[in-house]
Structure 1
Amino acid sequence: MRGWDAERIAAAAGARLVEPGASASGPSRAVIDSRRAGPGDLFVGLPGERVDGGRFATEVLAAGAWGVLVGEQWAGTDGDGVVLVAADPLVALQRLATAWRRELGAQVIGVTGSTGKTSTKDLLAAMVDQQRRVVATPLNLNTEIGLPLTVLSAPEGTEVLVLEMAMRGAGQIAELVAIAEPDVGVVVNVGPVHLELLGTIEAIAATKAELIEGLQPGGTAIVPVDEPLLATHLATLPEGVTTVTFGPGGDVDELPEGLELRVGGDRLSAHMRSNALAALAAARAVGVEPTGRLDVALSELRGQRRELPGGLVVIDDCYNANPMSMRAALDDLAASTSGRRVAVLGDMLELGPDEVRFHEEIGVHARGAGLDLLVTVGPLATAMGPAFGGTTIAVDRAVDVVGALRPLLAPGDTVLVKASRGVGLEVVAQGLAA
């Protein structure tokens, strides 16, 4: 946005320009955390449950920020910099992001799915980066707030935006699509996630399908081959949208011989290979054919393998969990480990009335995967133990795991750590590493 002056920023955001400031150029990015706002930044003061971010506008300008975008009640903000006001700063932020997306003229790829959307985004960004200037969603900026911040961080000359899209309820992905206006929509998979809120797997499929249903003529919908939950949605896609399937028997069913993908230095696991096929289909949709060896770094807490002193390996996959991703992680543990297989598995949250059954099924799957030791964390995860039937330790809290587990570990063991984010299992991976 450097090339836009304050008046153009105001017009694009639908905001009122109260103070024009002295800078002839625009901001380099937008931020919502006043502690991170510095020179060249546009601080957007969003109202929160307890504090309205607009109250920090004066100190942000004193710190040298380019300007602030705040609610009407903060129109009297003092300081050297641009002051923009809007009835709803979040809506203004989203409108500004859409305007900047159009100004860039970049091709936009939206990625969603019940599991694996972050790793698919990471794989896709790495593929596209071989040939095009790409900006991808960092960390977990995949919501109605994070997505526009990602778009506004893209500098002039960006050719492809890879945007992860998350949801917790109906209509939320449609909202992100309206902001980003994607050219390509990728649905990685559909699984039992957020059942507590959405009720049925069919409702989950419908929310994921909001991405492809929002594509414009000329767009490309990328979906798993033969996914019955998406069939009705594919039949009603807008005219002029091309559908590309991935997976065995699909339009993209294998990686080309000239492409060698490594994730964290390792060869692709089975479920990561499926994600890679989805990423390859999306890369091709924007005219990129990746080649050669490509080393991909996954986002934090998404399955990184850490080799610790003493010959212990920890698979840090504790960012989130659902039945689909739990089974995939256990399968990968079974396929990639020659020593003892140990899993620290915590509660999977928001699964609705069948939550106990889902946890019991993971216990059965762990037995089939040849797990040697299971540690369950939390009240729901205890249901895995009897279904597993092998050596099991049940603990109530994540902070108690390391003390109970460490005396039982030996060189050559591999420990998978996975649960829903609310369980806080990152302390386990950190504790074992310490």
Structure 2
Amino acid sequence: MRGWTAEDIAAAAGARVVSHGRGGEGPTRAVIDSRHVGPGDLFFGLPGERVDGGRYAADVLGAGAWGVVVGEGFADVRDPSGEGAILVAADPLAALQRLATAWRRALGAQVIGITGSTGKTSTKDLTAAMVDQRKRVVATPLNLNTEIGLPLTVLGAPAGTEVLVLEMAMRGAGQIAELARIAEPDVGVIVNVGPVHLELLGSIEAIAATKSELIERLRPGGTAIVPAEEPLLRTHLERLPEGVTTVTFGSEGDVRALPAGLELPFTSAHMRGNALAALAAARAVGVEPTGRLEVALSGLRGERRELPGGIVVVDDCYNANPMSMRAALDDLAASASGRRVAVLGDMLELGPDEVRFHEEVGAHARGVGVDLLVTVGPLARAMGPAFGGETLAVDRADEVVGALRPRLADGDTVLVKASRGVGLEVVAQGLGTA
């Protein structure tokens, strides 16, 4: 937003100017956490469940913020420095989103939107790494993939950004449509469709419809990238905007294999599948990646840590669903040279069939040759009987390390995976320090 005045920002965001402030070059980024505001930042005081962020407007202005956008209830805020811009909006969140759309248009960048039931973060990381070989790219950091996080990502992109790679999360119907409205994507990637958020959406067909909100809202002339083997998307592919091209990936798709000149820093089957989706996205914005790909994967998503004695911990505890559990177990089976140990916790938000899904994961663990299964939580206990082998059941994440450590042997590989709410990161961390 460099070069934009308070009037420019107000016009784009649907706000009014109370104080023009210092002017100058305009803000560098948007921030919603008052603790992280610094010089050059534009602070949005968003209303929360417990407190309205507008209460901190005077504090951030005193700390040197370029300006603030607050609700009508804080229109009389006073700037201790007398130099910050003060803008007032009826709905600060809507103002944040409108400003992000305006900045996206001003950048003139191509936008790649990525969603999916599992693997969307890794696919985002892979896509950004591929595109970065030829173009200036900004990608979603951490988990800023919501109606708040996505506009913050866009507004953090500097002038000269050529491609935005934006992860789009979903908790219910209409949410990906909202993100697509803000981002106006040129390329839409659906990595897969699986039984995630069934508790909210009710059926796998409803999940497919929600994911398809992305490709059904692409800009004219855009590209929809979907898995070739997913029949649930066929109906939605018939409703694409005029001029949108469909590209499929997978063993039966348009993009079936990685080019011989492209080297990935991992061998897991599901990551290579994600790489096909990323390759299709890179090609859609005119980039053909080559050579060894340097990928900065987001944390807690399959990171491998080697402990003394050659024990390897696979830290994949950011989240879990039946599809990602099976993929992680497949990778454990393919990569482990010693015993295979799986620490698996509850998978949440699976609806009335949650027990069956956990039983199926236990059976899959048996099928791929897991030697020791550790279940964490009441739902995960259902994996044990279906697994049928050596099993250790615990109730909480903080009980795992003490129970598991004496059972580990040199050369074991330990997979740690569960839904985020189980908190299995303490296991991955604890095994490394025990």
Tell me the TM-score normalized by structure 2: 0.98
RMSD: 0.7
2:173 to 153, 170, 174: 170
Q: Secondary structure at the match of 1:296?
A: coil
Q: In the alignment, which residue of structure 2 is the partner of 1:247? A: 250
1:18-417 to structure 2, matched below 5 A, reads 18-79=18-79, 80=82, 81-262=84-265, 267-417=266-416
Between the aligned partners of 2:98 and 2:131, the Cα distance in structure 1 is: 27
Cα deviation code 1:370-389 (max 9, x no counterpart): 00111100000000001000
Between the aligned partners of 2:351 and 2:172, the Cα distance in structure 1 is: 14
Between the aligned partners of 1:19 and 1:432, the Cα distance in structure 2 is: 54
Cα deviation code 1:36-88 (max 9, x no counterpart): 01111011111011110110111111111111111010111111301111110
Q: Secondary structure at the match of 2:70?
A: strand
| Between 131-140 and 301-310, the greater mean CA deviation after superposition | 301-310
Number of corresponding residues? 430
Between the aligned partners of 2:136 and 2:121, the Cα distance in structure 1 is: 19
- Native 8 Å contact 2:22 2:66 kept in 1: no
| Between 359-368 and 78-87, the greater mean CA deviation after superposition | 78-87
Between the aligned partners of 1:417 and 1:188, the Cα distance in structure 2 is: 23
- CA drift of 1:207 comes to 0.2
Cα deviation code 1:92-133 (max 9, x no counterpart): 000000000000000000000000000000000000000000
Structure 2: unaligned runs, 5 residues or longer: none
- Native 8 Å contact 2:121 2:167 kept in 1: yes
Between the aligned partners of 1:292 and 1:56, the Cα distance in structure 2 is: 48
- CA drift of 1:226 comes to 3.1
- CA drift of 1:297 comes to 2.1
Between the aligned partners of 2:151 and 2:387, the Cα distance in structure 1 is: 44
- CA drift of 1:310 comes to 2.3
Between the aligned partners of 1:368 and 1:224, the Cα distance in structure 2 is: 25
Q: Which amino acid aligns with 1:69?
A: V
Tell me the TM-score normalized by structure 1: 0.98
Between the aligned partners of 1:38 and 1:411, the Cα distance in structure 2 is: 49
Cα deviation code 1:317-361 (max 9, x no counterpart): 000000000000000000011101001100000000000000000
Structure 1: unaligned runs, 5 residues or longer: none
Q: Which amino acid aligns with 1:194?
A: H
Q: Which amino acid aligns with 1:407?
A: P
- CA drift of 1:285 comes to 0.2
Q: In the alignment, which residue of structure 2 is the partner of 1:11? A: 11
Q: Secondary structure at the match of 1:135?
A: strand
Between the aligned partners of 2:77 and 2:128, the Cα distance in structure 1 is: 40
Between the aligned partners of 2:314 and 2:331, the Cα distance in structure 1 is: 10
- CA drift of 1:311 comes to 1.2
- CA drift of 1:411 comes to 1.3
- CA drift of 1:2 comes to 1.1
Cα deviation code 1:377-434 (max 9, x no counterpart): 0000000001000111111110110000011111111110000000000000110111
Between the aligned partners of 1:229 and 1:235, the Cα distance in structure 2 is: 12
- CA drift of 1:3 comes to 1.2
| Between 180-189 and 304-313, the greater mean CA deviation after superposition | 304-313
Between the aligned partners of 2:371 and 2:340, the Cα distance in structure 1 is: 5
Between the aligned partners of 2:363 and 2:100, the Cα distance in structure 1 is: 46
What fraction of aligned residue pairs are identical, expressed as a percent? 83
| Between 10-19 and 103-112, the greater mean CA deviation after superposition | 10-19
| Between 104-113 and 77-86, the greater mean CA deviation after superposition | 77-86
Between the aligned partners of 1:23 and 1:236, the Cα distance in structure 2 is: 46
Cα deviation code 1:212-249 (max 9, x no counterpart): 00012200000000311000000121121000000012
Q: Which amino acid aligns with 1:18?
A: V
- CA drift of 1:268 comes to 2.5
| Between 135-144 and 72-81, the greater mean CA deviation after superposition | 72-81
Q: Which amino acid aligns with 2:208?
A: A
- CA drift of 1:23 comes to 2.7
Q: Secondary structure at the match of 1:186?
A: strand
Cα deviation code 1:291-326 (max 9, x no counterpart): 011121210001111112221111000000000000
Q: Which amino acid aligns with 2:164?
A: L
Between the aligned partners of 1:429 and 1:8, the Cα distance in structure 2 is: 48
